[in-house]
Amino acid sequence: MLKPKGFTLIELLVVIAIIVLLTAILVPVLSTARKQVQGTVCMAALKQWGLCYQLYAADYDSRLPFYMGGTVNTTYMETLRPYYSDTDKMRTCPAATKVLTGNPTGLQAQSYFGYTRNAWQIDVAQAGWMADTDWGSGSFGENSWIRDVLEQGGAQSSPHLGKTWMTIDAGNIKDAPFIADARWNNAWPTNSHPIPASTAAEEQMYNIGNWSQIVCYVMRRHKDGVNVCFGDGTVRGVRAEDLWTLRWNRESSRTDVGDALHWLTRW
């Protein structure tokens, strides 16, 4: 009776080599597919935020939310709360869900700026401008120039007059970024803000010293840039270099930064 023949060493090595080869081929493909799905889900979430702004404006005679420093209405999370419920999915890009503690804001004990691949966090227990019931983290940031900026007494803030968009039917509102992938919950970007230089760590590029500047959005979270929701509700990907060409406020003018961000590939 013949004994069953087993695999020879050479045959086993061939099988292992084939498995290694297939893995080398499939892993990059699966990684690319995963990133594409993350980008699509991110765009869907931003699309919902665009709808929230539209619903708010419909309820307030076309006016966009106002901004009054130190009040609960300073964040899009609180202002738009009547129009959304699923905070975890709505406020977090799937490519940046985990909070890191390496870049503290210094505003509250447990507040941290976000990163390209990580979410920001607000210490709601200490932040008077956030409701105690809020979970306090996310990975999108509002362009605060869309708001009507008011002083504590209710008067319009003179430094912002003529710059803020204020209404959903303002001229060229379709070109105004409303909300996008970001390292903090809001910023006041302008096209004259400096182009970040190459740094060894992300927290050296973005921190409490420049939190409100355009660098809040400057990253390559999705391919070569970030996803942005505009005033007409459309969402599209924008290259990091092209953020300086957007109409952040009424007085914005395009700035060409060339290839100054060629180094922005490490995060």
β 148-149/66-67 pair status? parallel
Judge whether residue 256 has pLDDT over 90: yes
The most confident of the ranges 1-10, 86-95, 148-157 is 86-95
In this structure, is residue 135 part of a structural domain?
yes
The β-bridge partners of 213 are none
Rg, the chain, Cα only:
23
Nearest to 194 by CA among 208, 204, 182, 205: 205
- For residue 26, the SS3 value is helix
Residue (of 263, 229, 258) closest to 53 by Cα position: 229
CA–CA dist 121, 184 (Å, integer): 8
In the predicted structure, residue 154 carries a pLDDT above the cut 70: no
Q: What percent of the chain has pLDDT over 70?
A: 88
pLDDT band at 104 (very low <50, low <70, confident <90, very high): very high
The per-residue pLDDT for 230 is: 99
Instruction: Spell out the long-range contacts of 75-78 with Cβ–Cβ below 8 A and sequence spacing 24 or more.
Output: 75/129, 75/130, 75/142, 75/185, 75/186, 76/49, 76/142, 76/179, 76/185, 76/186, 77/130, 77/134, 77/138, 77/185, 78/129, 78/130, 78/131, 78/134
DSSP assignment, residue 243? G
Q: Is residue 127 part of a domain?
A: yes
| Alpha carbon distances (Å) from 260 to 27, 215, 244, 264 | 32, 13, 12, 9
> From CA 215, how far away is CA 178, in angstroms rounded?
16
Whether 150 is in a domain gets the answer: yes
Assigned domain for 255 exists: no
Instruction: Between 25 and 138, name the one with better pLDDT.
Output: 138
How many other CB atoms sit within 10 Å of the CB of residue 42? 25
pLDDT (mean) for 241-248 = 98
Q: Does some domain include residue 235? A: yes
Residues in the chain: 267
Closest CA to 49 of 73, 77, 68: 77
Burial class (CB in 10 A: 0-12, 13-18, 19+), 258: exposed
Confidence at residue 7, expressed as pLDDT on a 0 to 100 scale: 60
- Residue 2 DSSP label: P
Examine residue 185 and state whether it is found in any structural domain, yes or no: yes
Task: List the domain range (segments joined by +) for residue 176.
Answer: 11-245
> Which carries the bigger pLDDT value, residue 157 or residue 97?
97
Q: What is the pTM of this model?
A: 0.85
Token output for 65 = 């939310």
52 lies in a domain?
A: yes
Q: What is the overall mean pLDDT for the chain?
A: 89
Count of domains forming the chain: 1
Residue 85 burial by Cβ neighbours in a 10 Å radius (0-12, 13-18, 19+): exposed
Domain-located, residue 2: no
Least confident of 39-48, 62-71, 114-123, 184-193: 62-71
Distance of alpha carbon 113 from alpha carbon 38, whole angstroms: 21
Instruction: Indicate the pLDDT class of residue 228, thresholds 50, 70 and 90.
Output: very high
